[in-house]
Structure 1
Amino acid sequence: MSGNSGVPLVRGEASLQRATFLELFLDLVFVFALTRISARVIADFTDGQRGVLAGLGQALLLFLALWAVWSLTVWSTSWLDPEAPIVQTVIVLTMIGAMTMAVAVPDAFGARAALFAITYVSLQIGRVVYFHVAGHGRPDPRQTLRVLLWFGVSAPLWIIGGLVDDGTVRGPLWTVAVLVDYVGLYLGWPTPRIGAQRIGGRMIAAEHLAERYQQFLLIAIGEAIFVLGLAFSGSGFHADQTGGYVLALATTVLLWRIYFHVAGRVQDAAVNHSRNAPRLATEMAFAHLIMIAGIVLTGVGFELFITEPRGHLPAAWLIAILGGPVLFLAGRSALEYQVFARVSRSRLAGLLALGLLVPVTIRLEPLTAGAAAAVVLAAVAVGDARRSRRRLAETPRPPF
């Protein structure tokens, strides 16, 4: 299969499995996008103008839209040759569109709502149309039809939500639109008469896909480091704030260690061993979505206990300080199940411990609550290390 330039469009068996420099360049846009999401959430916890829960809901919708753009790009470049001019053009267009969405994030539920929504719809539909036209209907015209039909359902909801003046209407419209987009993505855009098909199917380059997931998770950890560094550099460098800074750095190391322990490193082998590789690759995307959301929220917690380490702990702050690690461990547990068809007891115990800490830490200071969460993560990492010493290297055994 080829585009009109004669350059192969679908990956060959000998194609490069590593991410290209252009793909890494695209990731820089999402680094900025995550900082804008974090800034919104931090403002919701500190200035209270939107309200914490309303602000979190809005930030989640914006984050899901950005993740949909990134994940569809990754699946496309894991199926199609990222060195093909058609694919490279799409990556550049994606970079421009994602950057536009990112700069709109701070006021995406206000004056920049139309910009965010119209850019998202134009990007998602435009890429599909461009692939179809530039590739002369290849590599799969039926997939083009599937995706366009599903985006045709969600696009009016995005655009109307962006254009209405009533913010109370925008939230429900965009919520339904996100649900339509993610249900279609998860199920492979089922369409009457032609059925469903996830992007690429078994032709996805497993090593490339796994590496891209790993890279985006590292981006999220890098964004958390940016948040904690910015918070500490703007502080008074007092002893308590220094302690919060050191604690936050240690927590990021624990997040990295827990993620890359075995399952985080052998995702490509799991996809290759799977009886249903398209489904496994899709579910891995959702596991990473949860983990990355947890890391971003954990980074918000860093900001809170570095800048205000002592004094009264607002109950809402526990959503970030404890809720971030909960989301991360939940997503990491899902990934472990996807790779090995089991979940380590240390991760389940960690989730239970974080839940039990809620009624205890509400009476503590912010820095102490952050320390309690870090202790739980450290216990999970120690459990991983002990299990590794007792067991030989495991072969991935995905459940499907």
Structure 2
Amino acid sequence: MTKEPRLPLTRIPSGSQRADLLELFFDLAVVAGLALTSAKMAADQTWTGISQGLLVLSTLWAVWVTTTLITDTYSPRKRPIPYLILAVMFGLMLMSAALPAAFGDHGLIFGGTWAAINLGRGLTLIRSLRGRSEQERSVRALVWSLGSGTLWVVGGLVSDPGWRLVVWLAALAVDYIAFGFRFPIPGRPPLPQYQVAPEHLAERYQQIYILTLGELILVSVLSLSHQPFTAGRIGAFGTAVLTAVVLWWSYARGAGATLRAAIESSPHRGRLVQTNPYAHWLMVAGVVGTAAGVERVIAWPGEQPGTPMTALILGGAGLFLCGRAVLEHEVYQRVPLSHVVGLVAAIALGPLAVHLSGLAVSVAAGLVLLGVAVGELLRARRHPAQAPATT
């Protein structure tokens, strides 16, 4: 008897390339992790606390990016992909729950769960893709996951928070290097560039960025609702809302809105696939840092922030501008002068900001972002026919 051929898992080019509702459901777990990350940064106003927050944020981001690449390559409606997404979602939720004490008693849960996600995903895809050429990528990814997973588990077992941070930074570097260089194996030829569905990939990045802004809005509302209303707190709340609007407008009226066209028209589509995660990570980290500052400033608007919190508020604006500049360069092959000026302004405000109140620092960061948005608006009026670069 001959075996009936198995249906391919990959997306059908002629089929719908829109994001599936299961993917949006998965994103809800990401938002929970982002909210806990910003809360951790707001509560621990030290350089160590900020470093720990950025590490856990980068880890959650790696979960989202790798899952999105899978759903971009394989149909989320073909087994076992839906079950794989739900399993990863459970792992992500467990990591988020362990996040507040990730450098304390829950280190092994946080690091071990990420290692288990990588290994389980690799084994599932290897089994599902047996006999197909696509299986090699999953095999290579599993090899790299064994190395990084060992470091994640070892880091979770280390009792000292400082050494745990060092070990986990090494583990995260392995994960990012593996993804960035497409899981190289000595003696084996490089894997081909990622083949993507432009409509789906662009939509997924747009969705996660907007959901991240939703976390900023949620933090603003919840922070104000837990405090007595004062002029200072309402001013801090209004500044937060204005900042959220500017962060949305800058993305929605800039390169973010033309991301699909850029991927479709780019002769270097593979490069866009690999730079998109880093550009959007910078913007997401900027929004999360801003949310952490908002939570603190609404609670104590007249308090003079320390250097780490000042760096968090101004650094949130700076990280967003860096990410927008990278995305703008990849889409339009240029770096807007307004972004450079805004970044320089955010850095220059640092020495002065440590002598100001938290509310004043937030207003200054918001004005920097607003100034960049005005610069973008003026440039758009001078060049209304701006289109993605094709060379």
What is aligned with 1:149? 143
Matched, 1:159 2:149: no
Q: What letter matches 1:332 in structure 2?
A: R
Aligned equivalents of 2:5, 2:229: Cα separation in 1: 59
What is aligned with 1:49? none
Matched, 1:133 2:127: yes
Aligned equivalents of 2:155, 2:52: Cα separation in 1: 13
Identify which of 44, 47, 56 aligns with 1:62.
Answer: 56
**1:139 to partner: Cα distance:** 5.6
- Map of 1:2-81 to 2, 5 A cutoff? 6-45=6-45, 52-81=46-75
**1:71 to partner: Cα distance:** 0.2
Q: How big is the alpha-carbon RMSD for the aligned residues of Structure 1 and Structure 2?
A: 1.7
What is aligned with 2:198? 206
What is aligned with 2:331? 339
Q: What letter matches 2:219 in structure 1?
A: V
Detail structure 1 runs of 4+ shifted over 6 Å in the superposition: none
**What secondary structure, in the 3-state scheme, does the structure 1 residue paired with 2:349 have?**
helix
Identity of aligned residues (%): 37
**1:314 to partner: Cα distance:** 2.1
Kindly provide the CA deviation profile for residues 167-200 of structure 1, in whole angstroms up to 9, marking residues without a partner as x. 33322111111111101111111112333336xx
**1:275 to partner: Cα distance:** 2.1
What is aligned with 1:286? 278
**What secondary structure, in the 3-state scheme, does the structure 2 residue paired with 1:266 have?**
helix
Does the 8 Å CA contact 2:194/2:273 hold for their aligned counterparts?
Answer: no
Identify which of 285, 296, 307 aligns with 2:288.
Answer: 296
Aligned equivalents of 1:77, 1:276: Cα separation in 2: 21
Q: What letter matches 2:107 in structure 1?
A: A
Aligned equivalents of 1:89, 1:129: Cα separation in 2: 13
Does the 8 Å CA contact 1:8/1:81 hold for their aligned counterparts?
Answer: no
Does the 8 Å CA contact 1:287/1:332 hold for their aligned counterparts?
Answer: yes
- Map of 1:167-246 to 2, 5 A cutoff? 167-197=161-191, 201=193, 203-246=195-238
**1:88 to partner: Cα distance:** 1.0
Aligned equivalents of 1:89, 1:7: Cα separation in 2: 17
**1:311 to partner: Cα distance:** 3.8
Kindly provide the CA deviation profile for residues 141-165 of structure 1, in whole angstroms up to 9, marking residues without a partner as x. 2112211121121111111111233
Kindly provide the CA deviation profile for residues 105-153 of structure 1, in whole angstroms up to 9, marking residues without a partner as x. 0111111111111111111111111011133354612112211121121
**1:212 to partner: Cα distance:** 0.6
Q: What letter matches 2:172 in structure 1?
A: V
Q: What letter matches 1:256 in structure 2?
A: W
Does the 8 Å CA contact 1:142/1:194 hold for their aligned counterparts?
Answer: no
Does the 8 Å CA contact 2:301/2:359 hold for their aligned counterparts?
Answer: yes
What is aligned with 1:48? none
**Normalised TM-score (structure 2):** 0.95
Aligned equivalents of 2:364, 2:95: Cα separation in 1: 36
Aligned equivalents of 2:304, 2:163: Cα separation in 1: 35
Does the 8 Å CA contact 1:313/1:365 hold for their aligned counterparts?
Answer: yes
Kindly provide the CA deviation profile for residues 236-260 of structure 1, in whole angstroms up to 9, marking residues without a partner as x. 1011111111111011000001112
Aligned equivalents of 2:306, 2:162: Cα separation in 1: 26
Matched, 1:247 2:235: no
What is aligned with 1:107? 101
Aligned equivalents of 2:57, 2:194: Cα separation in 1: 28
Count of aligned positions: 389
**Normalised TM-score (structure 1):** 0.93
Q: Point out where structure 1 has 5 or more consecutive residues left out of the alignment.
A: 46-51
**What secondary structure, in the 3-state scheme, does the structure 2 residue paired with 1:62 have?**
helix
Matched, 1:392 2:384: yes
